Amino acid sequence: MNIDTANTTAINRLMEARPILKGVAPARDVIPDMKDNLILHAGPPIEWARMSGPLKGAVIGAMLFEGLAGSETEATSMVERGEVEFDSCHHHGAVGPMAGVTSASMKVYVVENAEHGNKSFSNLNEGYGKVLRYGAYSEEVLKKLHWMNDVLGTALTDALAASNGIDMRALIAEALHMGDEGHNRNKAGSLIYLKLLAPLIAKTMKDNAAMSEVLQFIGDNALSVLNPVMAACKAMTDAAHGVEGSTIVTTMARNGTDFGIRVSGLGEKEWFTAPAEIPVGLFFSGFSQEDANSDIGDSAITETAGIGGFAMATAPAIVTFVGGTPKDAVSATLEMYEITFSESKFFTMPVLDFRGTPTGIDLRKVVELGITPRINTGIAHKNAGVGQVGAGLVRPPLKIFEQALLAYAEKYGL
């Protein structure tokens, strides 16, 4: 068996994947094995007792939203009685930012990989402030979620149905030339997204006041496109998973307690986990490092697919995250080439003479060089419901890569 050949196969599948945003539909209708009492969450699988504040809050919020429970206490006791099941989004082709909590009635984006046929899913982005993905579940949060499901979700469903779908690979490529890195900065991508949706929404929505609200909501939220981008990255990395002998990392995800990775040539549900680290970064007014929760969210799927922190060089507006100068941003990307197997054919960076982004984390290189992937991330408050307190940088613990290497050696008899 030749590992380089296996990795080339995996990387080609990742790059040739053609994620098309096809529609929006209730999770129960589209996500495989979705059930009414099943709640999906970000990161590797985790049981209730070990969940962090924001994830627990989001779970309670989802149960209230679904009507499974009438109150926080009821929700908690239902969970404790085992009446609710949990599973990792990744086991169902799904991803979600921060808590990543997705329940059966929630509307989700459906992305289809036109090249290989696999599908991926992600919930709708709620914007800033008090939001479920940071563990908030107040009346106001639930009200917004219902509006998103009923008004925004319906508008998106109809608009996308009236189109041939949105080519997410092209959208990401364009946004990278406009100062986005696709994870912490999605301003340009969100505007492109709005530009693509607006005529479709205008064609399909009858109620002008509601249409205005919808367009305003998408346009105001610089993270609008984050969720479809994540689903696109998920479609790409899933296409690269399961290649016999490959050492390419196909998932990096955090549940607020553990950081987990999966590797292409290892098992479908074989996670390597260790306690997630606390991101270091810049904080909104009134918050500091002490408020930060351990790293959380599936959004590291962007880095896994070769954008986000890996494409830092192309996002000079947010260089403060990496030390302050555009040169530091370039160095951040150059460092990631050290641990990737290839360079993207489609995602390029003008500042590096249109070099492709570092793509396909190679387990071997991470362990050999002791360089872990850089992940740009939002920072959640450690208490449920407070919300985002800042943004910064985090790296996964090196030892999960070492564990994965040992598991690889065992599986392949090295």
Partner 1 sequence: MTIVKWNVRAGAYYDSVVLMQLQRGLLGLPGVVDAGVVMATQANRDLLAANDLLPENIPANADDLLIVVKARDDSSATEAIGKVDELLARRKSSTVSEDFRPRSLSSAVKQLPEANWVLISVPGRYAAGVAREALELGKHVFLYSDNVSLEDEIALKKSAREKGLLVMGPDCGTAIINGIGLGFANRVRRGNIGVIGASGTGTQAVTAQIHNLGAGISHAIGTGGRDLKSEVGAITAQQALDVLARDPETKVITLISKPPSPEVATQLISTSLSTGKPVVIYFIGYPPPARKIGNLSFAISLSEAAEIAVRQVSVSGKWLSVNSRKGYVRGIFSGGTLAYETLLGLQASLSPIYSNGPITANQNLKNPLKSEAHSIIDLGDEFFMVGRLHPMIDNDLRIRRMKQEAADSEVGMILFDVVLGEGSHLDPTGELVPAIREIQASRKDIEFIAMVIGTDEDPQNIQSQIDQLMQAGVAVFRTAAEAVEYISLKFSQQKSDQFPPVNLEQLKQPLAGINVGLESFYGSLISQGAQAVHVEWRPPAGGNERLANLLAKMRK
Whichever of 161 and 409 has its CB closer to partner 1, that residue is 409
Is residue 155 at the binding interface for partner 1, with CB under 8 A as the rule?
no
Cα–Cα–Cα angle for 38, 250, 343, rounded to 5 degrees: 145
Using alpha carbons, select from 75, 122, 72, 73 the residue that is nearest to residue 100: 122
Phi, psi of 33 (to 5 degrees): 60, 25
Is residue 331 at the binding interface for partner 1, with CB under 8 A as the rule?
yes
Is residue 282 at the binding interface for partner 1, with CB under 8 A as the rule?
yes
Span from 24-32, 39-47, 270-278, 319-327 in contact with partner 1 (CB under 8 A): 319-327
Measured between alpha carbons, how far is 150 from 114 in angstroms, rounded to an integer? 28
DSSP string of 30-95, one letter each residue? HSTT--TTEEEESSS---GGG--HHHHHHHHHHHHHHTS-SSHHHHHHHHHTT-SEEEEGGGGTEE
Is residue 338 at the binding interface for partner 1, with CB under 8 A as the rule?
yes
Measured between alpha carbons, how far is 206 from 213 in angstroms, rounded to an integer? 13
Measured between alpha carbons, how far is 172 from 167 in angstroms, rounded to an integer? 9
Phi, psi of 306 (to 5 degrees): 100, 15
Span from 12-20, 22-30, 98-106, 362-370 in contact with partner 1 (CB under 8 A): 362-370
Q: Which residue has the tokens 């989802």?
A: 62
Pick from 91, 170, 284, 411 the residue near partner 1 by CB under 8 A: 284
Cα–Cα–Cα angle for 58, 183, 337, rounded to 5 degrees: 130
Measured between alpha carbons, how far is 179 from 158 in angstroms, rounded to an integer? 30
Cα–Cα–Cα angle for 53, 55, 58, rounded to 5 degrees: 110
Is residue 244 at the binding interface for partner 1, with CB under 8 A as the rule?
no
Span from 1-9, 97-105, 161-169, 292-300 in contact with partner 1 (CB under 8 A): 1-9
Q: Which amino acid does the sequence have at 387? A: G
Q: How far is the CB of 328 from partner 1 (least distance, A)?
A: 5
Q: How far is the CB of 340 from partner 1 (least distance, A)?
A: 10
Span from 11-19, 63-71, 112-120, 369-377 in contact with partner 1 (CB under 8 A): 369-377
Is residue 143 at the binding interface for partner 1, with CB under 8 A as the rule?
no
Count of residues of this chain found to bind partner 1 when the rule CB under 8 A is applied: 45
Q: How far is the CB of 70 from partner 1 (least distance, A)?
A: 27
Pick from 335, 346, 373, 380 the residue near partner 1 by CB under 8 A: 335
Measured between alpha carbons, how far is 16 from 133 in angstroms, rounded to an integer? 31
Site string for partner 1, 14-43 (x = CB under 8 A): ------------------------------
What does the DSSP 8-state code read for residue 317?
G
Q: How far is the CB of 55 from partner 1 (least distance, A)?
A: 22
Interface positions with partner 1 (CB under 8 A): 2-4, 127-129, 185, 220, 247, 282-286, 317-321, 323-325, 327-328, 330-331, 334-335, 337-338, 364-365, 367-371, 390-391, 402, 405-406, 408-409, 414
